[in-house]
A and B are shown apart, each in its own frame.
Chain A
Amino acid sequence: MKTFRIGGIHPHDEKLSAGSSIKVLPIPKEVKVPVSQHIGAPATPIVKVGDVVKTGQLIAQATGFVSANIHSPVSGTVKKIEDFVDGNGYRKPAIIITVQGDEWAEGIDTTTAIRREITLEPAEIIKKVQEMGIVGMGGATFPAHVKLSVPPGKKCEALIINGVECEPYLTSDHRLMLEKGQEVMIGVKILMKALGVGKAYIGIENNKKDAIENLQRLSTNFEGIEVVPLKLKYPQGGEKQLIDACIRRQVPSGKLPIDVGAVVQNVGTVYAIYEAVQKNKPLIERIVCVTGKPLREPSNFLVRIGTPVKELLDATGGLPETAAKVIGGGPMMGRAMVHTDVPVVKGTSGITVMDEKDAKRQPMQNCIRCAKCVSVCPMGLEPYLLSKLSMLNRLEDLRAENVMDCIECGSCSFTCPSSRPLLDYIRLGKGRVGAQLRAEAAAKKAAAEAEKAKAEAEKKETANA
């Protein structure tokens, strides 16, 4: 069975909610819709307080190419447009809507009928994806149309669909592939058409045998789509790792997947694209896995964007006394939340709750140079060295040791017998080196512009003389 070639770890997968089918969560009384739910520029609100909006109506417009439209997930009245404190403790602007009924905007097909025939042309598909505000739903929230717009001179040779879900606990993609297999397959076909590529691979880890079987069965009706069962190993869902696992090509340092002829999309994104293209439905709801050992009923919900996380937790039987940590995402890469009165956003793939015992870190000991972090790093880096260099603030050395290649998967911290917070330090160093790189790029750009201005001025002078 295939897998990526460098490093990797085997955390307990703890898929508690794997057997729980997707439940539709009732629409809440009020939703909070942040205007920045994606990587890139925040969207600009185009509604005012007091406006009446319908479900699926555009309420905030993308600002530039790397940005995404935001649609109203409910019908009702715009109550406020103001800052709120998000899960990470930062203030962010959001549009708050009081819900009244559920009246959909015109032109959206809300039936469950499956539409197989793809009528749109490639350019129209990409435009539709952009219009409907689709972003990467595995958690990175990169606007999907950007990835689909292959830069001139480059060619997509393989479309890779990420159905790995290598994060422990999370099961939303698993349930999606099981319950919406047909739609996912059509979605893959849409992407293949948009990219003009004849071959697509769906990578699924082998702890989801039922999903593999389901899609394999369906794939007989869809030419060019191959389901690739993958050996269980974290972080297989990392874009670069997945490409390596499926087509054995490694994206070089500082390059993008398209440089090796690959485009990767998450299955959740594929489903959203199916709905956007075939049903004209914007991204206003998603599947969220709410899980963790302290919860009474770990579940998978279909929820509207903007629904408070608190309500999701209540639907699983409430946050128990023993719960000590609530994570947005899974336990390997998710972020611990400051509070639970935060809305579900486009990138919320799951909510993981941990009890007191699991929430605490062990005290850190001396590095014993056991080299376990080196052997598990999926990027072939030396975490012990990077963390030490970060502590010493040796930025030049950090750059020379490829710190920017780190994908922050956390395998090093996970495996360290001395419980050293390796990734914490590496992130710190990465942040500083990143700032340095950006400053250098800006200085270079400014210098080039000054040069150009000077040349033009000289040209003018000679013309005048």
Chain B
Amino acid sequence: MKKVLALLSVCLLVFGLAGNVMAFNPDSADGITFYEMRDQFGEVPNIETELRLGAVAKAFENEYWRTLRTGYEAMEEKLNNKGMDVEIDVRAAQGENDEQGQLSIVQNMINNEYSALLLSPISDGNLVPGVESANEKGIPVVNVNDGIIENAPNYVGPRAIQNGELAAEWISEKLNGEGEVAIVVGMPKAFAARQRTIGFENWMEENAPGIDIVERQNADWDRLKAMDLANIWLKTHPNLKAIFCNNDTMALGVQEAVNNAGKDILVVGVDGIGEAYDSIRNGEMDATIDSFPFYKAQVAVEATLRVMGGQDIPRVVWTPQALIDSSNVDASAEEIIDWKDPEF
């Protein structure tokens, strides 16, 4: 028995240590924003040859990835209007658990000698073998958030930690820096869930000593689980003032619980899905952090073209994001993030 326990504790220790080693974290990497990328590197190089880009998203069952696809398609049209010969083939796995299926899509693109790959992996590991063979064949790979591919030479995406920071700052301001708040975490394995939560907690710890984070539990990105969580918290923490959710789906569930309880509690989500915008317009949800997948896709393609055109851009390019509340819910995205089409 003792031996077993000893072995077990050694295992736990080893796993614990291994789990905490994170070699590449795009949030803390030496990256630049896409505005800076344009300032520093100027025009997008014009590539004369025929290009076929393979973009692989997580799963189209999720609105976020469907919007990303429309962004890729919009960019394809813009580039062809500029006289370039570009085809962007946008694919996705069969659901967010289809890790092998996503890998075979990538392998197939490599076998068909696509010019470059833009990959949003389901997990940190599932596309690694694909990227290895792409690297060998010299096919450029851009990791588009949010699974982190260790061996992909470039990364494009929003700073996940900034999601949490923006939410924390906004909540703290609304509460005048005082009160009890809670966090609903997404799937604990997800990079975005971890970073958004850490960003929120760290910001509060450094800037708002009067804010007390009384709960932090996960609801696996699931609306019902989030609603059930909130139902309980509303009873166990009668003085709860705000709830930050790692995504909008969960925030909408939490809002439902808050409505049923007839309480006035700030609910903030992340992603900026259409339903969240509607909810903010109706005076229900209070804010969301939109990372504009439609524009993120275009920045990703732009970065890919710069890499292919020989520009030496840094490994990490951060895409725009902004907090949306009742004050700017009806403003256009171009206005909010000051978007301009790239120059060639």
Decide whether A and B assemble into one complex.
Answer: no
Binding site for B on A (CB under 8 A): none
